[in-house]
Amino acid sequence: MSPDTFSYESLAARVLFGWDAIHRLPAEIDRIGAKRVLVLSTLQQAKDAERVMAIVSKTSVGLFSGAVMHTPVEVTAQALETVTRVRADALVSFGGGSTIGLGKAIAIRNGMHHIALPTTYAGSEATPILGETDKGVKTTRRDPRILPTLVIYDPELTLNLPRSISATSGLNAMAHAVEALYAQDRNPIISIIAEEGIKAFARALPRIARDLHDREARATALYGAWLCGTALGNVGMALHHKICHVLGGSFDLPHAETHAVMLPHVLAFNAGAAPQAVAALGRAFDSNQPLKAFREFCLSLGVPTSLSQLGMTEVGLDRAADLAVANPYWNPRNFNRADIRALLEGAWKGDWQVEATDRLEKDNE
């Protein structure tokens, strides 16, 4: 990339990465001066969270295992009651974007220290962004104080991430990097980070699909998660994230799977208007047909390939198109409602192989 006009403001983040890095937690808790730590998790990960509690046993004051997707404000209120009851002065969120989202929602309300231990590749730990749901409406805000005090990436914590979530969560992360590459406010540092993040997942996900306990691939994927999350936290997202936001927020489609289905479609739609992103993808996949390579990559991982597979109804497509074009995010390619309706229909049917290629050819005419 040749340097063009850009502005860049780095986020203050402390990150520790490595096998067994979780054992650095007690020293880090000392470092920030915390004395009473509340661990956060989902119900599904409560058992594993007990291991974290054992590691911080000197300062542990309990576990709140009620984290759920989309950070409902009622759950945050319950967690805040627990914080007050056990007189916690720091949080350790152990889990994916849902649990880390809860940690952010508490910390932005009361200023507590928040240490994140990511166990998926969603990337929330690296962003100053918080999405919350109140009475079924999801709103997102950005504030530097939302960023966790510290992130500890220990690949050991991801070894049990099931095959399907590993793949979809990895594609969720890759979507951050793809959109960062064509962001309106992109800059050279974030473009390098995004390309390296895509490359990490391009290498790691096929190996994880074959062997969940491939330690080298797990470490590479978690490294990719940090990079892609950093890209998400630093530049604006475009059409892909807008559509996924609509499908998750208003149609309750599952977060990572929706990203996995939509990404090849939106990428093909935007490709003609984002040659620099396509070139970076080509380098990351070591291919001179990057879109084809990416589609084959998705297929090889066995992820869902259509919105209908995720439970989206055909009648919902019109409303989804309306919502996606209302207050649109900036996008490298201009679009109208009919474009988005057609894009959604292709994704709903899962016939992106034909549709995506056609679109690209049209763009290149």
**Which residues make up the interface to ligand NAD (CB under 6 A)?**
42, 44-45, 69-70, 95-99, 101, 119-120, 122-124, 127, 129-131, 157-158, 160-161, 165, 169, 172, 232, 255-256
CB of 338 to ligand NAD, least distance (A): 28
Nearer to ligand NAD, 122 or 347 (CB): 122
Closest of 11, 341, 46 to residue 193, by C-alpha: 11
How far apart are CB 303 and ligand NAD at their closest, in Å? Answer: 13
Task: Name the closest residue to ligand NAD (Cβ).
Answer: 97
Q: Which is nearer to ligand NAD, 44 or 57 (CB)?
A: 44
Choice between 101 and 264, CB closer to ligand NAD:
101
Least distance (Å) from ligand NAD to the CB of residue 5?
27
Smallest gap, in angstroms, from Cβ of residue 287 to ligand NAD?
27
Residue number with CB closer to ligand NAD (171 or 271): 171
User: 279 - beta bridge partners?
Assistant: none
3-state secondary structure 258-315: HHHHHHHHHHHHHHCCCHHHHHHHHHHHCCCCHHHHHHHHHHHHCCCCCCHHHCCCCC
Least Å distance between CB 162 and ligand NAD? Answer: 6
- 171 vs 320 by CB, closer to ligand NAD: 171
Report in angstroms how near the CB of residue 206 gets to ligand NAD at its nearest. 19
- CB-based burial of residue 144 (10 Å sphere; 0-12 exposed, 13-18 middle, 19+ buried)? exposed
Whole-angstrom Cα distance, residue 136 to residue 74?
11
Q: How far lies 226's CA from each of 69, 122, 145, 270, 322, in Å?
A: 20, 9, 19, 25, 33
Nearest residue (CB) to ligand NAD, 34 versus 92: 92
DSSP strand pairing (37-40 vs 90-95): parallel
Ranges of H-type helices in 137-235: 163-181, 188-210, 215-234
